[in-house]
Amino acid sequence: MANEDYVEGGMNTSESYSYWRKVFQRLKKHKIAMVSLWVLVVIILMAVFAKPLSFGNNPYSYIKSVPWASRPELAPPGPGHPLGLDSMGRDAWSRLLYGGRVSLAVGFICSIVGAVVGLFFGLISGYFGGITDMLIMRFTDFMLSLPVLPLMIVLSAVIKGSLWTIIFIISIFSWMGVARLVRGEVLSLKEQEFTEAARAIGETPGRIMWIHLLPNSLAPVIVASTLAISGNIIYEATLSFLGLGIRQPTPSWGNMLNGAQTFMLTAPWLMWWPGLAIFVTTLAFNFLGDGLRDALDPRLYR
C-alpha cells in the first residue's frame, strides 16, 4: 500500500535516539557545565565516602594531643589532619566531608520537595484555571512577597533545628518559582492539540495532567531545580552560620564557618575550606543549571 513518505533519508530507525540522550549530547558540548558536573560528582563522592576518606578520624571525637602543636585546639594542619583541628580539637577534614553530606542533602532534598510541590500547584493552577488558578497564584505571590531570610531565621529559632526541620523550613520557601513556571508551561501546553486529543479520547483530567502535561513541562523544572540547589545550600549555610541551622556537634559547612569566625586571625585555615566548599558547590550547580538550560532548549522537541 501507500508508503509515500517512508523513504528514510539515512536515519536508521534502530539508532533512533531518545530525547534524553540528545540532551546529554548537547550538555557535553557545554564545557563549563561539564567541568561543573565532574566537580559535583567529586564533591558528592567525597560526601558519600566521607568515612573511608577521613583517615580514621571521626568528626565528633576530640583529639587529645598532636605532636606539632602545644594544644590540640586550633592546631594547624599536620600529618593525619590535613586541615588541622577546630576550636574544640576535632578533625576539620572529616568535619568538612561529613558537613558536605548535610549541605548537599539539604540542597537536594529541598529542591526536590520544592519541585514536587511546585509541579503540583502549577499543574492544577494551569489546567483548571479560573478561581482555582486565581487562589493558588495569589497564594504564590503572597509567599514570594515575604522576606524569606528573616522569616527563616525566626522559624528556625522557634522550631529548634534538626536536619529535617531545616529541610522543612527551607522547603516552605522553595516551590513558588517552579509553580509559576509550570503554570505558564501548562497554559501553553493546554492549547496544543494533543491535550485536546487526549480529552477527545476520553481521558480524565488527572491522567491528562499526569501523563501529558507533567512530562512536557519537566524541562524548565529541571533547570530551575538545579539552580535552586545552590540557593538552598546557601540558605542552610546562612542559617547554620547564624547558629540557627544545623546544631553542634553535627557538622555542616555553615556551622563550621560559624565556629571559625571567632578565630579568623589566629586560625584562618579553618574558614577557608568550608567557605571554598560552599563557593565551589554553588557555583558548579549554577553553571550546570545554565548548561542544562541550553541543552534542554524546547526547540529540541522538534
Partner 1 sequence: MEKEVLLEVKDLKTYFYTEDGVVRAVDGVSFTMHKGEVLGLVGESGCGKSVTSLSIMRLVDAPGKIVGGQIIFKGEDLLKKSEEEMRKIRGSEIAMIFQEPMTALNPVYTIGDQIMEAILTHQDVSEEEAKKKTIELLDLVGIPDPEKRFDEYPHEMSGGMRQRAMIAMAISCNPDLLISDEATTALDVTIQAQILELMKDLQRKIGMAILFITHDLALVAEMADSVAVTYTGRIVEYSDVRSVFKNSHHPYTYGLLQSIPSLLSEKTKEPLPAIEGMVPSPYRMPKGCHFNPRCPFATDICRKEMPELKEVTPNHLVRCFHPVNVKEEVS
Among 30, 95, 101, 212, binds partner 1 (CB under 8 A): 212
Closest distance to partner 1 from the beta carbon of 254 (Å)? 39
Q: C-alpha distances in angstroms, 301 versus 7, 267, 295?
A: 22, 54, 11
Closest distance to partner 1 from the beta carbon of 9 (Å)? 11
**Considering only residues 215-234, where is the footprint of partner 1 by CB under 8 A?**
215-216
Select the span of 12-20, 33-41, 260-268, 288-296 touching partner 1 (CB under 8 A): 12-20
Among 52, 56, 70, 193, binds partner 1 (CB under 8 A): 193
Q: How many residues bind partner 1 (CB under 8 A)?
A: 30
Closest distance to partner 1 from the beta carbon of 211 (Å)? 8
Is 301 a binding residue for partner 1 by CB under 8 A? The answer is: yes
Binding mask 109-138 for partner 1 (x = CB under 8 A): --------------------xx--------
| 65 versus 204: smaller Cβ distance to partner 1 | 204
Is 61 a binding residue for partner 1 by CB under 8 A? The answer is: no
Among 27, 62, 76, 203, binds partner 1 (CB under 8 A): 203
Is 3 a binding residue for partner 1 by CB under 8 A? The answer is: yes
Is 198 a binding residue for partner 1 by CB under 8 A? The answer is: yes
Select the span of 82-90, 156-164, 168-176, 198-206 touching partner 1 (CB under 8 A): 198-206
CB-count exposure of residue 32 (10 Å: 0-12, 13-18, 19+): middle
Is 71 a binding residue for partner 1 by CB under 8 A? The answer is: no
Is 199 a binding residue for partner 1 by CB under 8 A? The answer is: yes
The number of beta carbons lying within 10 Å of the beta carbon of residue 157 is 13
DSSP string covering 261-274: HTTTTT-THHHHHH
Is 204 a binding residue for partner 1 by CB under 8 A? The answer is: yes
Q: Enumerate binding residues for partner 1 (CB under 8 A).
A: 1-6, 11, 13, 16, 19, 129-130, 192-194, 196-204, 211-212, 215-216, 301-302
